[in-house]
């Protein structure tokens, strides 16, 4: 899931447990983050040929996607006791 989708994630308190499990399953591991950095680094033309994928890889590598996941998890915790 890209950052745009995570930023527009619709929280539903009736489905809190399923949403928490889904978000946690989307979190990238350190190895996945490293591989995303290598993929973006070894394909410099991707910035021009597939800019959306390149940005997605950069977001994963920098940890921005995991940050957005953490934000949504915290909001679910606050809004859905």
SS3 category, 11? coil
Confidence label for 54 from pLDDT (cuts 50, 70 and 90): very high
| 4-43 pLDDT, tens digit each | 888 888 888 898 999 999 999 999 999 999 999 999 989 8
Mean pLDDT within 56-72: 93
Q: How far apart are CA 44 and CA 57, in angstroms?
A: 12
CB 70 within 8 A of CB 24: no
- End-to-end alpha-carbon separation of the chain, Å? 25
pTM above 0.85, yes or no: no
Beta strands in 1-81 (DSSP E): none
Residue 31 pLDDT: 96
d(C-alpha 18, C-alpha 8), whole Å: 17
Residue 48 confidence (pLDDT): 94
């Amino acid at each position: 899931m890209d950052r745009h989708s995570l930023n527009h994630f619709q929280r539903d308190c009736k489905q809190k447990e399923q949403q928490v499990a889904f978000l946690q399953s989307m979190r990238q591991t350190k190895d996945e983050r490293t591989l995303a950095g290598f993929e973006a680094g070894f394909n410099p033309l991707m910035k021009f040929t597939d800019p959306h994928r390149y940005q997605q890889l950069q977001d994963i590598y920098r940890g921005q996607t995991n940050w957005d996941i953490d934000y949504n998890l915290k909001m679910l915790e606050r809004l859905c006791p």
